[in-house]
């Protein structure tokens, strides 16, 4: 009886993502976006290019970034060169800051 009660806890622990896995999922989400344009310092980029840029920044700053929240705040929201926020333009013309979009995605991952 006790073993049956513990099974959900084991399954829950097994399905919990590490912070690195959450960051990988966020980058993957960006890479797989359809019909979106990423704007960095006024220049347009494909989702694949944006994801690669985020991955490169993460690789260079892994020792300074321990959580998915820190990844979003420190690396994936704005240009470290200009301080300008990264934008995502969707097919319908709507634009959203990448930090806002990624925080929404992180909430889904944590749910």
Other beta carbons within 10 Å of 31: 16
**Number of domains within the chain:** 1
**Domain annotation covers residue 101:** yes
The predicted pLDDT at position 4 comes to: 47
pTM listed for this prediction: 0.84
**Domain annotation covers residue 4:** no
Please state, rounded to an integer, the average pLDDT across all residues of the chain: 89
**Domain annotation covers residue 8:** no
The predicted pLDDT at position 11 comes to: 44
**Domain annotation covers residue 12:** no
Report the alpha-carbon distance of residue 34 to residue 75 in Å, rounded: 22
Burial class (CB in 10 A: 0-12, 13-18, 19+), 94: exposed
Nearest to 40 by CA among 23, 25, 52: 52
**Domain annotation covers residue 64:** yes
Res. 14: pLDDT tops 90: no
Res. 52: pLDDT tops 70: yes
* Secondary-structure breakdown of the chain: helix, strand, coil percentages, each rounded to the nearest 5: 60, 15, 30
């Amino acid at each position: 009886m006790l073993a049956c009660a513990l099974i959900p806890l084991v399954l829950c622990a097994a399905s919990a993502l590490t912070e690195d896995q959450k960051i990988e999922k966020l980058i993957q989400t960006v890479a797989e976006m359809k019909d979106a344009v990423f704007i960095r310092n006024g220049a347009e980029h494909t989702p694949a290019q944006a994801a690669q840029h985020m991955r490169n920044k993460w690789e260079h700053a892994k020792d300074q970034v321990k959580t998915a929240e820190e990844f979003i705040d420190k690396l994936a929201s704005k240009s470290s060169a200009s301080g300008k926020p990264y934008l995502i333009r969707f097919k319908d013309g709507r634009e959203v800051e990448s930090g806002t979009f990624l925080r929404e995605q992180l909430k889904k991952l944590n749910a």
